[in-house]
């Protein structure tokens, strides 16, 4: 493989990323590895469908290799990855995922990662054992829908002997990747055939908004893992719960615009995600999908309750800590209201309605008096050694 400058970026034959997207031939350094074809009946879970995303048109062009082409990062490549809608920078390749991928959104995800780390720890307990150095088998980790890359960067730095791969619809913005970490631009809605048997750990967090067939993705992840490998999936179903942790249901024909407002905004988001083709209810099925999949064992299901704002009036250590975490969650939600505008407006929801619900939701969160919860579902499991 030819030597390239860090950070590394791998592009899986996205139609918009032809050589013409570069300013000059000097902008690019390419090394294409040999193609190997893998056949499996699970490939049928991801048929080539032109409506799924822009990359679907390149189904036949996608390499079967984990490292088909390596490019030096350039400003022109970054520009080709984005389009501007409703004042935000969105990915230029998927019609399903309609949340921003700009600097403002990536900063939000960095803070969100810090919050999750405070509550859930950095990674599942089995991960260090799975990634223990083995001279006969170099270890590899993948972060599917890596966002800002906070999680995979933590892993790459803590386990420098491992190969760390960050996959998303846009290139990672961090210009100082560790030498064992690379960024890959790919649409995982098209399947993971070119990664089968490539990884010891697979991680995905809050990607359901951009996934058409999450159960199919779980199946492809199982094929991408080596025997004994570890998968962790974390999702949220965009449902808000009341002070008794009961889900707040908004009827489809509901016309009353009254509080609490956060459940109403999330309900609009659920509708928009469904309209775009995302599987917003994935969180409700994660445990079953992984448990019933024949290749996984030692399945662990964890649930985490987050306050929507620091409304807890208790003075005990648990209450104080809950409020500390809730301050970060509130900041995350306030930014997410802005991030969600392209999704809502682009799905046909009237701007006047979006503005009203957003404004009232912001006021509700800032007042921190309405007692609401969000439930985050997390599942991790090991791949059976005989698979």
Average pLDDT over residues 61-74: 41
Q: Is 362 helix (H, G, I), strand (E, B) or coil?
A: helix
Residue 78: per-residue pLDDT: 61
pLDDT of residue 76: 60
Map tokens 């994660």 to a residue. Answer: 286
Residue 33 CB coordination number (10 Å): 14
Torsion of Cα atoms, 229 then 122 then 192 then 88, to 10°? 180
pTM metric for this prediction: 0.82
For the domain with range 8-383, which CATH number is right: 3.40.50.300, 1.10.760.10, 3.40.50.150, 3.30.40.230?
3.40.50.150
- The three-point CA angle 328-330-332 to 5° equals 70
Q: Which two tokens stand for residue 331?
A: 């900041």
Domain boundaries in the chain?
8-383
pLDDT in tens, 210-262: 999 999 999 999 999 999 999 999 999 999 999 999 999 998 777 778 889 99
Both tokens of 172, joined, read: 């990672």
The CA distance from 171 to 150, in Å, is: 13
Cα distance between the two ends of the chain: 31
pLDDT digits (tens, 9 = 90+) for 284-324: 999 999 999 999 999 999 999 999 999 999 999 999 999 99
The pair of structure tokens assigned to 32 is: 């294409």
pLDDT band at 15 (very low <50, low <70, confident <90, very high): very low
pLDDT tens, position by position, 161-192: 999 999 998 888 777 899 999 999 899 999 99
Other C-beta atoms lying within 10 Å of the C-beta of residue 259 = 12
């Amino acid at each position: 493989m030819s030597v390239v400058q860090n950070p590394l970026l791998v592009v899986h034959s996205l139609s918009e990323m032809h050589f013409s997207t570069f300013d000059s031939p000097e902008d690019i350094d390419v090394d294409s590895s040999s193609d190997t074809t893998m056949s499996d009946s699970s490939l049928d879970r991801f048929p080539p469908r032109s409506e799924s995303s822009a990359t679907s048109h390149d189904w036949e062009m996608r390499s079967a290799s984990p490292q088909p082409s390596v490019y030096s990062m350039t400003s022109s490549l970054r520009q080709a990855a984005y389009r501007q809608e409703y004042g935000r920078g969105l990915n230029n390749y998927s019609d399903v995922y309609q949340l921003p991928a700009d600097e403002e959104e990536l900063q939000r995800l960095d803070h969100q990662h810090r919050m999750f780390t405070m509550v859930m720890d950095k990674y599942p307990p089995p991960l260090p054992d799975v990634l223990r150095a083995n001279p006969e088998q170099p270890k590899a980790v993948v972060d599917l829908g890596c966002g800002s890359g906070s999680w995979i960067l933590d892993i790459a730095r803590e386990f420098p002997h491992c190969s760390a791969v960050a996959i998303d619809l846009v290139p990672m913005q961090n210009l100082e990747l560790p030498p064992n970490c690379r960024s890959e631009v790919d649409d995982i809605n098209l399947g993971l055939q070119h990664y089968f048997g490539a990884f010891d750990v697979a991680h995905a967090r809050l990607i359901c908004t951009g996934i058409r067939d999450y159960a199919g993705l779980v199946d492809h992840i199982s094929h991408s893992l080596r025997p004994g490998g570890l998968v962790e999936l974390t999702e949220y179903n965009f449902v808000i719960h009341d002070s008794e942790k009961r889900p707040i249901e908004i009827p489809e024909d509901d016309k009353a615009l009254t509080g609490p407002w956060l459940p109403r905004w999330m309900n609009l988001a659920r509708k928009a995600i469904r309209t775009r083709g995302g599987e917003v209810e994935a969180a409700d099925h994660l445990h079953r999908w992984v448990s019933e999949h024949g290749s996984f064992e030692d399945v662990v299901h964890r649930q985490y309750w987050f306050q929507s704002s620091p409304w807890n009036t208790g003075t005990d250590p648990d209450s104080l800590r809950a409020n500390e975490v809730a301050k970060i969650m509130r900041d995350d939600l306030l930014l997410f209201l802005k991030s969600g505008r392209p999704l809502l407006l682009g799905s046909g929801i009237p701007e006047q309605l979006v503005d009203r619900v957003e404004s009232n939701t912001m006021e509700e969160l800032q007042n921190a008096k309405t007692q609401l919860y969000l439930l985050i579902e997390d599942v991790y499991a090991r791949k059976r050694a005989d698979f």
